[in-house]
Structure 1
Amino acid sequence: MQESLAMDPHGGHYLNKAALLSPLGAARIAQLVLGCSTMSLVAHQAGYSANYGIFCMFVWCFCFAITAVVFTLDVTRLHGCMPISWDNFTVAFAMLATLMYITASVVYPVYFLRFECPSGRCEERDYRIAVTVCSSICCFAYGAEVFITRAKPGHVVGYMATVSGLLKVVQAYIACIIFGALANDSEYNRYIATQYCVVIYSLCFAVTVVVVALTVTGRTSALRFPFDRFVVIYTFLAVLLYLSTAVIWPVFCFDKKYGTLQRPSGCPQGKCPWDSKLVVAVFTYANLVLYIADLVYSQKIRFISQQPA
């Protein structure tokens, strides 16, 4: 049996030209070009080492790989075969990539960039400057995608495209920074009160990740109660819990009865428990502000229930 082909004037294109010829497509192409350039410069001459360098290289490789997959699936329209909410996934990843690139763009020059040239050889320094520039510009490329796909007033979009959804990604990312500081000899196990704070950080992080995961997978209807009510109640409780840690953590870390207000003079930089405690305190207040903003904004959005595809 021989198959025949016919032209259908009403048929759609297999390739999505809008994924290329649109502001969103331009942003993703810029992400790929800049990400590839950054990795190539590091691998060729700039170099990296130690845990900070490994983290930066992981950020660049991870974001490039996921962006390449997203771009390919969008161009070929194969994202419709994925068992996820595509719009929610892409905007959540773009927000996460923006935060990761910002971190890498700060960490890499701080630990690897020196403006003086050792032995008169400036080639390595110049490559590291180029890495910093490419990585910094790529932050704006991912931020542009977030800006393009964010929720507009009156439009029906996925939850992750709203300010509340984007804040969930930022809250989870800041919690990861807190965990990193806690693991860096923060002495949190000295007091039950500071251990309580760690439990609060872990609990809020876990629930936030669950909210993001349910949204990205399109399984919000799996909850036995309305998703919008769950999100608002959880955010309210998170504000109260973080408020308690914002009071307890500084008292048991910097009050002279339990710790010290000033940095100890003989404490080595990068390995000082006082520094880790300060990082935890700063980002605790940062997350508290984000949860409050999330709670305020969640009163302004209207949820529309959708069945998973």
Structure 2
Amino acid sequence: MMESSGGLYLNTAAVASPVGVARLLQVAFGCTTFSLVAHQGGFSAAYGTFCMFVWCFCFAVTIFIITCEFTHLHSCLSISWGNFTAAFAMLATLMSITAAVIYPLYFAQFGCYSISCKVRDFRIAASVFAGLLFIAYAVEVFLTRAKPGQVTSYMATVSGLLKIVQAFVACIIFGALVNDSQYSNYVATQWCVAVYSFCFVVTVVVVAFNVTGRTAMLRCPFERFVVIYTFVAILMYVSAAVIWPVFCFDSKYGSPWRPYQCSQGKCPWDSQLVIAIFTYVNLVLYIVDLAYSQRIRFVSHP
């Protein structure tokens, strides 16, 4: 006869709590979205493939998180679970809103001129559920974010969430860089690429150290390292924010206006403009990050 161990094998709060309900909705909306697209809506080119990847990836990881929390399996993993779930929720929010904008922009339409009305309806429905998926992930971020005075996982703090946003914005910059941005024309613009790359790598390392629970491996206090790095990143991004526009849009080096002969989607000037805009976006994010980094209390294993 087996004796009771005194504990429950299943964690019902994983699906019954507000965060659990949000995750169940994420699974439902995500599955519905990529099913509609795969069944009849259709997708093509890199944009469509990216959207399908986002929905399938987020669906798979969310299923993994729910399963681990429902069965207490996460206690067997050698990672900081709170940091992992907070980081993924923020990443999924950014990825899902990107897909929710891209898919209807490139595939949805109200008329039935180039596609059948049935395909149009499926694409519109997929666009709606893609938007609902983004809302579901945003709700989880809102529910799990660190409250004032609360001791929680670093990735659930404003500074931790901003790290995910900074890395995501850097990926947008990299995407524009490889899209015929002509950054190799000048040493100055190559320096800007070095700035983007260095800050991206260190930001990813900071996130990885937190998710894996290895922050104690650093020789200096982690919160001090984060503040120093963020300050250095601000200085580097300030230089890029000055150099990139000068060497791309000044008439001596580039063009202040979009060349009329540029084709849609294959214009170096467009890529340079995207890079300039998101350089300033990331600069603002790092400044806000620095302001919050000095006020948080770091906990390596919540």
Residue identity in the other structure for 2:154:
Y
Query: Alignment partner for residue 104 of structure 1, among 86, 90, 99?
Result: 99
Aligned runs of 1:1-309 on 2, under 5 Å?
4-7=1-4, 11-118=6-113, 121-304=116-299
Residue identity in the other structure for 1:60:
W
Tell me how far 1:98 sits from its aligned partner.
Answer: 0.2
C-alpha separation in 1, matches of 2:43 and 2:114: 19
Tell me how far 1:302 sits from its aligned partner.
Answer: 2.1
Q: Structure 1, residues 10-57: CA drift from partner, whole Å, max 9, x if none?
A: x11100010111101100000000000001100110000001111110
- Alpha-carbon distance change, 285 to 119 in structure 1, aligned in 2, over 3 angstroms: closer
Tell me how far 1:305 sits from its aligned partner.
Answer: 5.7
Tell me how far 1:119 sits from its aligned partner.
Answer: 6.4
Residue identity in the other structure for 1:42:
V
C-alpha separation in 1, matches of 2:240 and 2:204: 20
Q: Structure 1, residues 149-201: CA drift from partner, whole Å, max 9, x if none?
A: 11112221010000000000000000000000000000000000000000000
- Alpha-carbon distance change, 66 to 119 in structure 1, aligned in 2, over 3 angstroms: closer
* Secondary structure, counterpart of 2:25 in structure 1: helix
Aligned residues: 302
For normalisation by structure 2, the TM-score amounts to 0.98
Contact 2:213 2:300 in 1 (8 A): no
C-alpha separation in 2, matches of 1:7 and 1:108: 52
Contact 2:159 2:293 in 1 (8 A): yes
RMSD, aligned α-carbons: 1.2
Percent same amino acid among aligned pairs?
A: 66
C-alpha separation in 1, matches of 2:92 and 2:115: 36
C-alpha separation in 2, matches of 1:251 and 1:22: 52
Residue identity in the other structure for 1:67:
T
* Secondary structure, counterpart of 2:204 in structure 1: helix
- Alpha-carbon distance change, 75 to 50 in structure 1, aligned in 2, over 3 angstroms: same
* Secondary structure, counterpart of 1:207 in structure 2: helix
- Alpha-carbon distance change, 119 to 210 in structure 1, aligned in 2, over 3 angstroms: closer
Q: Structure 1, residues 41-97: CA drift from partner, whole Å, max 9, x if none?
A: 001100000011111101011110111101100100100001100000001000000
C-alpha separation in 2, matches of 1:283 and 1:304: 31
